[in-house]
Amino acid sequence: MQTFEFPIGRDRWSLECDPQRVLPLHRAGKVNAVNDPRAAVAYALEHPLRYEPLRRTLTSEDQITIVLDERLPHLLVLLSAVLEHLVTAGVDPAKVTVLTPPGSRQNWLDDLPDEYQDLHVERHDPTDRKRLSYIASSDSGRRIYLNRTLVESDTSIVLSGRSYDPLHGYGGCESFLYPLFADAEAWQNYASQHNFDAPGKKFWPARQDAVEAAWFLGEPFMVQVIEAPNDTIAAVIAGRTESSQDGQRVQDGIWRAHVDEQPEIVIATLSGDPLRHDFLDLARALACAARIVEPEGRIVLLTEAEPHLGDAATILQKSGGLRNAIRRLIEQHPIDMDAAFQWASAAEKSRLFLHSKIEDSIVESMFAAPVANAAQVQRVMAGTGKCAFIPDAHKMMVTVGV
């Protein structure tokens, strides 16, 4: 037997397994984290890909909207670095609006430095028609509405992470904009397009629409943050929307991997500050594991998080069955549908076990069995079938075969 150690939240766990049972995780290479996230953003803004420094494109009269992904690590540091760059161009913070997605909590506001207290903050509401603007019709004939503040700004900046997304394939950049900052009807139109497959070179329909919406908006300036393990950052890439492809390549180089065959058991873990891990992170980790596990295999998700469970999780809990849960998610299309879709899809394929701070009764109502400690996980791992260990599974895309 061999001991395998994993960071779980801020803690470390040890599990034993016959090394002959463990499938190696083939990754592109070692991931290095940047030492100074603020400096990484500053450098990216001064040296965007195939574009001049952002400050040279601005005037002191510009109204600027920063579309902010609140799920980023070191959020306030990254945002402050963008604001500092704008100030060097003579932009008054009072002319800046930070726009956050529907349902965002905006907890960072209390810690915003005093020099930026005059900036405006807006939470997008897809149901408020007065806060939406029509910008164009897509090639497919769909009328595209986006947040009015975003549309009317002179310059828009998207500060977002990158992820693997069941609607777009690749999340972040233009995929963070649309349909998240569109109207409620747009979100409803995509409810049935969620996909459990691994993304490839071909653009998924929703991502193609997002690229088109970004083009109609005037090609926002993108600041892409690619995470490293724990709460660290591997790279920051800036540029116009064409730089999205560069970010995708960096993301894949860090977070795509493969195993040679399907395992019977997958141990998926989440490292870093558990307060950062939300329901979507847990669901992404389960989805990552479910793509490679044998049908009816076992997935054990290890996290120290106690995430807020929103409308989509409530649908899971009250659906009475997996097929009914997926049907109701498509019908009701809650804004947090991505998380529940991935969770339900994983549960439909495999047996789920979860160590977390979520109450056992709630875990059970979401088609999973709670596990309390490493000893219980060892019992789940008993047998002779192949095992795979996926650290930071919520960030990864793992497939079977090259």
Spell out the residues 6+ positions from residue 133 whose beta carbon is closer than 8 angstroms to its own.
145, 146, 147, 148, 151, 152
Confidence of residue 384 (pLDDT cuts 50, 70, 90): confident
* 326/304: higher pLDDT: 304
* pLDDT value of residue 327: 84
DSSP code string of 339-395: HHHHHHHHHHHSEEEEESSS-HHHHHHTTEEE--SHHHHHHHT-SSS-EEEETTGGG
Give the total residue count for the chain: 402
Predicted local confidence at residue 22, as pLDDT: 92
Q: 331 forms bridges with which residues in the sheet?
A: none
Single-letter residue type at 177: L
Could you read off the pLDDT of 87-101 as tens digits, one per residue?
999 999 999 999 999
Single pTM value for the model = 0.93
Confidence band of 328 (pLDDT split at 50, 70, 90)? confident
In sequence order, the 6+-apart residues with CB closer than 8 A to the CB of 235 are 34, 40, 225, 226, 250
Handedness of CA 389, 392, 397, 402 (dihedral sign): negative
Q: How do residues 24-58 score in pLDDT, each as one tens digit?
A: 999 877 788 899 999 999 999 999 999 999 999 99
| Residue 163 predicted with pLDDT over 90 | yes
Q: Residue 4 corresponds to which amino acid?
A: F
Mean of per-residue pLDDT scores for the chain? 92
Complete domains list, the chain, with CATH:
2-24+260-400 (3.90.226.30), 37-252 (3.40.50.11440)
pLDDT confidence tier of residue 105, bands split at 50, 70 and 90: confident
In this prediction, residue 201 has a pLDDT band, given cuts at 50, 70 and 90, of: confident
Look up residue 232 and give its two tokens.
């660290």
pLDDT tops 90 at residue 338: no
Evaluate if residue 256 carries a pLDDT over 90: yes
Q: Give the pLDDT score at 375.
A: 92
Q: Could you tell me which of 161, 153, 151 has the C-alpha nearest to residue 86? A: 153
Mean pLDDT, to the nearest integer, of 100-116?
90
* Residue 89: exposure state from Cβ atoms within 10 A (0-12, 13-18, ≥19): middle
